[in-house]
Amino acid sequence: MKAIILAAGHGKRMKSKTHKVLHTIAGKPMLHHVIDTCLEVGINDITVVVGHQGDTVREATPQSVHFVTQSEQLGTGHAVMCAKESIAPDDTVLVLYGDTPLLTSTLLSALSDFQQKNQAHAVVVSTTVSDPQGYGRVIIERDNIFSAIVEQRDLSPEQEAIARINTGTYIFTGRELLYGLEHIGNDNHQNEYYLTDVPAVLQKAGHHCLVYHDTDYQQFLGINSQAQLAEAAVVMKERILHRHLENGVVMIDPSTVYIDWNVSIEPGATLLPGVMLEGNCAIAEGAIIGPYSRLINTTIGVDTMVQNSVLESTKIGDYSQVGPFAYLRPGTVVGNHCRVGDFVELKNATLGDNSKASHLAYVGDTTVGAGVNIGCGVVTVNYDGVNKHRTIIEDNAFVGSNVNLIAPVAVRAGAFVAAGSTITDEVPSEAFAIARQRQTNKEGRAPKRKT
């Protein structure tokens, strides 16, 4: 089976500079959802028809697909015509839209089975909605035999009551699809070629055309506006939550939890209220995330706790604690049995096993060994106004409170840096470093400073 995905439209109703099919839902562009669903059922030969911002769509699509360009938007039938070179007579061709991200692999598998079992030349997929106003209606004869697709403006009073609508999803045999494309016209008020005319052409020519009906109307939701995107996001969110709950993830209040599509969570992990997991996060068994934490492309180890914190592109080991109110920025790696406490910021830093920065510290562009203590108020001064420089703190070093480490600088294994020091030179192994001005007391001068 091959797939043709139509993604050439402008999407003006989105009112956005971003191409419609590149708007994300659950952390992944709509078009990528459709492509990945095809790949999931073994459809590897995929052609995407692009037009408006076609180069942008190409560049943003990592999957291995073939692109063709619809230079002029002359209707859905014309869009499929642009992909004719990819259609062989013996093919079976699935036609989808790039703005229907809720389609499921279950549907595509069932649709393929239905087409093969009945040896249908064309299958029109329909669903039922409570308010069909504005949709084309699918008319069937007995035994799901296709009769017609009637657009809203052409409906008779009797047909107005029909709730079975066209979803825009089809399967064709290649030879019949090519025949249908050759015989549709553009004699309509927009002078466009409509794909909806192809089944009627085939049925009139005596080909075997059927209707496959699926009652789950939500998976056919097409996204044409920000409101519809938000509606689809709610559906996707519920699917994702259900998948993780069924897999043994604990959620105290699922309604407040947001999980992107590609997030991996092992059974036994706990998500507290207000958690957002974005991108390619991976959460291990026994981890506790939240409340009110945001993780982006972050890996969390076994039995690690993250509270009220933001972590981006970081990796945290096993049995560690992060937060509350910590900020871990890209490039940070925290080991096992570590503590990153309140109002600590790590950036492009590594923290070895059993090390801790318990509160109020900035550790940037720094390599910290195992068993290190980073005191309250410590700052690694990594930026000289032009370049970033690295700080090295080796195993079992102790850095006291309110210390400034002026990079590039190293504190060697077992060294001790006294509180309040500003360190500009290397501290040797096992050395005690103190770098602060001697205190001077001026007797009786305090009252004058208060007036």
Domain ranges of the chain: 2-220, 249-433
| Four-residue CA torsion sign, 110, 116, 118, 119 | positive
* Average pLDDT rounded to a whole number, residues 117-145: 93
From the list 33, 189, 359, 389, the catalytic residue is: 359
Give the whole-angstrom CA distance, residue 59 versus residue 114.
Answer: 35
Pick the CATH number of 249-433 from 2.30.30.30, 3.30.465.10, 2.160.10.10, 2.30.42.10: 2.160.10.10
Give the whole-angstrom CA distance, residue 156 versus residue 6.
Answer: 30
Closest to 167 measured CA to CA, from 209, 217, 107: 217
Topology of the domain comprising 2-220: Spore Coat Polysaccharide Biosynthesis Protein SpsA; Chain A (3.90.550)
pLDDT at residue 312 above 90?
A: yes
Which CB contacts under 8 angstroms, 24+ apart, belong to 373-376?
Answer: 373/397, 373/398, 373/399, 374/399, 375/399, 375/400, 375/401, 375/402, 375/403, 375/419, 376/401, 376/402
* Average pLDDT rounded to a whole number, residues 108-131: 96
Q: What is the pLDDT of residue 448?
A: 80
Q: Which tokens is 78 given?
A: 């014309």
**Phi and psi for 17 in degrees, rounded to 5?**
-75, -20
What's the mean per-residue pLDDT of the chain?
96
Q: Provide the pLDDT confidence category of residue 142 given band limits of 50, 70 and 90.
A: confident
* Average pLDDT rounded to a whole number, residues 192-206: 95
Q: Provide the pLDDT confidence category of residue 154 given band limits of 50, 70 and 90.
A: confident
pLDDT digits (tens, 9 = 90+) for 383-401: 999 999 999 999 999 999 9
Give the whole-angstrom CA distance, residue 329 versus residue 100.
Answer: 34
pLDDT at residue 9 above 90?
A: no
Q: Which tokens is 328 given?
A: 């871990």
pLDDT at residue 449 above 80?
A: no
- Other beta carbons less than 10 A from residue 172's beta carbon: 31
Q: What is the pLDDT of residue 78?
A: 96
Q: What is the pLDDT of residue 301?
A: 98
Integer angstrom CA distances of residue 96 from 27, 177, 265, 309, 318:
21, 14, 31, 41, 44
Give the whole-angstrom CA distance, residue 361 versus residue 341.
Answer: 9
Q: What is the pLDDT of residue 7?
A: 96
Q: Does the pTM exceed 0.75?
A: yes
pLDDT digits (tens, 9 = 90+) for 267-306: 999 999 999 999 999 999 999 999 999 999 999 999 999 9
Please confirm, yes or no, whether 52 is among the known catalytic residues.
no
As beta bridge partners, residue 355 has: none
Give the whole-angstrom CA distance, residue 378 versus residue 404.
Answer: 6
pLDDT digits (tens, 9 = 90+) for 399-419: 999 999 999 999 999 999 999
Give the whole-angstrom CA distance, residue 365 versus residue 388.
Answer: 8
| Residue type at 180 in one-letter notation | G
